[in-house]
Structure 1
């Protein structure tokens, strides 16, 4: 039913493939905003932290039609994190400014973002709208076992299959991003099985994806990054390919660039596990501080799903054996460094802990 044709922008390889297991989650918490028009690239380029024009050739993401990025306010705080998908057609390519951009955003703040984008539109020749929920659907295809499981570099972006399929641009361990016009999960599973028969794919709900993210310290959306409370470094934007330090000006750049060039980042979002009291899978704990055994504030709790959660924590105030607890609810928690953090970040943390 779903024939993969090589007539336009399909790149993948079956060499050295082995059977791998993945979860497929329909991300119903996401909305897509569409930006089209003569000035679409220039318009977005001045608003987000990453470079819309950048073509990645490294092994970390190797994705040319999807980037991860942030929209900041004037003081450099995160308004939203987002994925920017560039839809490739026979009428537009990477050399043209006239592009179809699909912004994958948290549905809780999609209306806020539309108003914000229209406010900055001024005389730019762009059209900004929210995609119909029956048009494109957002999915994540992520590994059942992430450690030592680098994913094959695959990219599909064509109108014939009505599907955009790319490696997650944040990190090649995280699986794949999918935008599709295919209407049912079963049809999408058939498409994916035809694309790569070696994969074993298990259809699950979005909560499993959230649990996966929390286990590995991956924040996403307004629940993990409340509007205008976090810096992009708090969100690990620098090590998740979410910030370009070579592009031109964008809103909030001054503080971001200054923080980067000073080389001192003392807090980052990290995974936590709630030890006791036990929490139910549907029990959401409130935003609150994280304190150590002396009652000193060492971070800020963000969100949880069951006993997995995220908190922004200070490197120089904690270690893996620190006795941490939530200030309001009294829950004891523990934290650890995600395995995917680059060595440079781990070395910086160790220096801060020992200073």
Structure 2
């Protein structure tokens, strides 16, 4: 098992009698039913249904202090704090930035059937990453105890780049690189596919727009894995089919990457035999094993 610190992640802690009710009415996931020690993938949206911030929501057991931890992009912590405090009103909730005191470590194994790390050895919280079984686990530990946590979990220390390559290989988008915060719907970031939206939970900010997209099947643009001919272009590079723009490139490692693509335009290009190019580099969409949406052309190699 490998373990990599994720310095680009921040931690927000919420506590108080109204914490679960407060978050349940804001986020796309069911926070009310979240069991201690478990996590959900979720987002805070604008009223127009676009992603302000996506996050892992973890319930801290009472014996470890209780409350809810939000594992979020560190660059969005101030934005998220401002939004949460705006919505708090008179709710009995404390909201605290713990990013300086706590660190996030990703743990994963090449074998999807690998046993879970021994959580009882850890001075911190260990949760299963809820987005995909092969993403493994997240540990939230004191910021000065990362090496000790890696050793306690009997993991091999790895660099954040190794985790990025693993994530990209599974086709799981990363906000701020594979999609733009404030300009992307949950369906476009594949949150509906990766357990990030509970369509039965009732109202939350932006819920009407997200439900309408789900029931009408109007998400034509999505982040999808792509096979690359060598090194990929930088994130944001236009993807074209002939003279037609079909999307933008996201994160990549040699030979594979992620791209935000208009799937209807990709389908037309595939039918016409027109190659997709980004920065002069050829790319081929690959259907991830978790995808249930209609795939361009109906057939493609599946990423597993």
- 8 Å CA contact retained: 1:37, 1:125: yes
TM-score (norm 1): 0.74
Residue number in structure 1 paired with 2:2? 23
Superposition TM-score, scaled by structure 2 size: 0.86
SS of equivalent to 1:212: helix
Mapped contact 1:105–1:221 kept (Cα < 8 A): no
Give yes or no for the alignment of 1:325 onto 2:277: yes
- Determine which structure has more spread, i.e. the larger CA radius of gyration: 1
Q: CA deviation at 1:154?
A: 7.0
Residue in 1 that maps onto 2:238: 289
The one of 248, 263, 268 aligned to 2:202: 248
Q: Is the 8 A contact 1:151 1:175 kept in 2?
A: no
Once the two structures are TM-superposed, the CA of residue 227 in structure 1 deviates from its matched residue by 1.6
2-structure distance, mates of 1:307, 1:112: 35
Partner of 1:229: 183
Alpha-carbon offset, residue 351 of structure 1: 7.0
3-state SS in 2 of match to 1:108: helix
2:290 alignment counterpart: 341
Alignment RMSD (CA, Å): 2.9
2:226/2:286 contact within 8 Å kept: yes
Cα distance in 1 between the residues matched to 2:132 and 2:245: 31
SS of 1:144's equivalent in the other structure is: coil
Task: Name the structure 1 match of 2:127.
Answer: 166
| Aligned pairs for 1:175-254 within 5 A | 175-181=136-142, 183-193=144-154, 201-254=155-208
Paired with 1:175 and 1:132, the residues of 2 have a C-alpha distance of 22
Q: Using the alignment, how far apart are the partners of 1:79 and 1:227 within structure 2?
A: 6
1:118 equivalent in structure 2: 85
Shift of 1:161: 4.4
| Unmatched tracts of structure 2, length 5 or more | 300-304
Q: In the TM superposition, what is the alpha-carbon distance from 1:89 to its structure 2 partner?
A: 1.4
Q: Does the 8 Å CA contact 1:30/1:104 hold for their aligned counterparts?
A: yes
Unaligned runs of 5+ in 1: 1-21, 57-62, 93-98, 194-200
1:76 equivalent in alignment to 2:76: no
Q: 1:144 to 1:151 in 2, by over 3 A?
A: closer
User: Residue 248 of structure 2 corresponds to which residue in structure 1?
Assistant: 300
SS at 2:79's partner residue?
Answer: helix
2:75 match: secondary structure = helix
Map 1:22-171 to 2 at 5 A.
Answer: 22-55=1-34, 65-90=38-63, 100-133=67-100, 135-144=101-110, 149-152=112-115, 156=119, 161-171=122-132
- Which structure's residues are more often helix, by fraction? 2
Matched residues in 2 for 1:153 and 1:261: separation? 37
